[in-house]
Amino acid sequence: MDKEIRLLHFAESQQGYFTSRQAVECGFSRSNFHRKIRSGKWCKEELWGIYRLANYPSSTRQELALWTLWSADGQGNPQGIWSHETALDIHGLSDVAPAKLHMSVPRSFRKGNAIPNILCLHFVDEIPQPDLEIRKGYRVTTPLRTLADVIRKGTTQHEQIQLAILDLAIQKSLIKGLATIQEMEQLQKFTGSPEIREIIAKAIDDVWTRANVQLADFGRMAEPYTIGLSWGDQGFGTAVLCQYKSKYFLLTATHVARAFHKTKSVRILLRFDNIRREYPVHAAKDFTVLEWDPAFDNRMLDDVLAHQPKDLAIIIPTQAIVDMLKNYKDFYKIPEEPPSFSLRDAFISLGGIEPILSKEQKTVTLNIGPYGFVASSYRQGPEVDYLICPVSNHTYEMRNLRRKVIASFQGLSGSGLWKFINNTPILVGIAIAQDDYDSVSGLRNVYFHGPHSILSALSKLGPTHEYQP
């Protein structure tokens, strides 16, 4: 590879900067550096041994990459990590520009010359990788690690800490901020100050309040596409009303849909609220169930990633039921291409939790709500894909902002997983399973079939089952 191209690769990863050591590694002779500078191709920085490509575009925070190179050890490895007030500024969690650049370095860090006045160095033990983010040309502590650092240091104004906690939740979207509440609560262990503890608690309460409003709004947006299905002693589940091309159907988990084979009647629950309502009974024979994989076995859900179950079913109602549903609900139009999403997205699922049936099993009260999820990973195979969302054993009842310990997510199976773009719900998954509660981590995983699974399952829909609008 040409030495100019090799040097460009270094410079591009460091916002245009490179060191004399890197230039030599690329094949340039130190004795010829001055020619590059005279020709105008290189610029020599005031910091010894650091240069910049003259025609490289400027950026707003290029000094972060410059001082990172300054922190390199004898082998040329940068030691500095931006932290404390500077990290707050990088993450947009402070409206006060710090007077100095705050950098964390190893306790063994040494420089032959005096430390420049622009820098404030924090000598720390090795920072774990999960507490770091890699940016272009530098590393920075994660928002939560940054908050812990400034709280521990005790030099940041209390108002800034409170605003930073709230801003972090808003940046992640309040929904994802809500999901990190338990992590935020851990910030209190970094201070012995009752005042700081109170500030943290107040900021977290503010996150709860704002997230409640956002979750409720998102829940209302997803509710028109969501129904509950109750089979009396066969339990209940959730389904998403869908339209694919000209076909109208309910999309749910196979293990939910199989209840149609075990009972003679079903109630369609149109509203997800805590008001007692009477819903008419429909004959189970008025629904055709198409299983994505007839060989699916519920035991496959004990280890989703190992068995890769195809736990989706299409339920096709009679035309009369479709027409009835159109009077009260909407059918979500599934695109022919799977929607894109990111693990950085906030996800909402609207499903039932803990059904409460009357003795006559005619009146149904549901403890339900919109639930915020944060996906930790995504797995895709040839036909199936899964979003894995870790949750604590605390779920959130959005109407009263109280965390409630529950044994499991009863009735969530078959519910949709939604992301929102400009207040428009986008279906990205269907809930199928949860694993066992881990008493050590306090977490369990909820598994959702992803958008590729949904389209694979829809290939089951043939012209025989086509319904015209």
Q: How far is CA 277 from CA 42, 103, 171, 228, 366, in A?
A: 75, 60, 39, 13, 10
Residue 357 amino acid letter:
L
Do the Cβ atoms of 265 and 296 come closer than 8 Å?
no
Tokens, residue 70: 């300054």
Q: What is the DSSP string of 106-119?
A: ETT---SSPPPTTE
Question: The domain containing residue 30 runs over which residues?
Answer: 1-58
Q: How far is CA 324 from CA 147, 269, 280, in A?
A: 53, 13, 11
- Per residue in 192-226, pLDDT (tens digit) is 777 777 877 777 777 777 777 777 788 889 999 99
- Per residue in 50-71, pLDDT (tens digit) is 999 988 988 878 999 999 999 9
Tokens, residue 13: 């990863």
Handedness of CA 397, 400, 401, 407 (dihedral sign): negative
Residue 22: the pLDDT is 93
Boundary (domain end) residue, out of 192, 218, 244: 218
d(CA 54, CA 448): 50
Handedness of CA 103, 107, 113, 117 (dihedral sign): positive
Helix (H) or strand (E) run with residue 229 in it: strand 226-230
Residues 153, 131: one domain? yes
d(CA 80, CA 86): 12
**Parallel, antiparallel, or unpaired for β 42-44 and 347-357?**
unpaired
Residues 235, 365: one domain? yes
Residues 121, 242: one domain? no
d(CA 400, CA 157): 32
Residues 428, 373: one domain? yes
Residues 316, 386: one domain? yes
Look-up of token digits 């075990």 = 262
Here the CATH number for the domain that contains residue 24 is 1.10.10
Burial classification of residue 299, based on how many CB atoms lie within 10 Å of its CB (0-12 exposed, 13-18 middle, 19 or more buried): exposed
Residue 399: the pLDDT is 38
Residues 336, 280: one domain? yes
Three-state SS for 180?
coil
Strands (E) across 182-225 are located at none
Residues 259, 399: one domain? yes
Boundary (domain end) residue, out of 218, 244, 275: 218
Residues 300, 182: one domain? no
Residues 390, 421: one domain? yes
**Number of folded domains that form the chain:** 3
Radius of gyration of the chain (CA): 28
Tens of pLDDT along the chain (469 residues) come to: 688 888 999 999 999 999 999 999 999 988 889 888 988 899 988 788 899 998 898 887 899 999 999 999 988 899 999 999 899 889 887 777 788 999 999 999 998 788 899 999 999 999 999 889 999 999 999 887 888 888 888 776 777 777 777 677 666 666 666 556 666 677 777 777 777 778 777 777 777 777 777 777 888 899 999 998 888 776 778 999 999 988 999 999 999 999 999 889 998 888 766 565 667 889 999 999 999 999 999 999 999 999 999 999 999 999 999 999 999 999 999 999 999 998 878 788 887 654 445 555 544 445 566 777 778 899 999 899 999 987 754 444 433 334 444 445 566 889 999 999 888 999 999 999 888 766 666 667 889 999 999 999 998 766 544 433 3
Residues 257, 390: one domain? yes
Confirm whether pTM is higher than 0.85: no
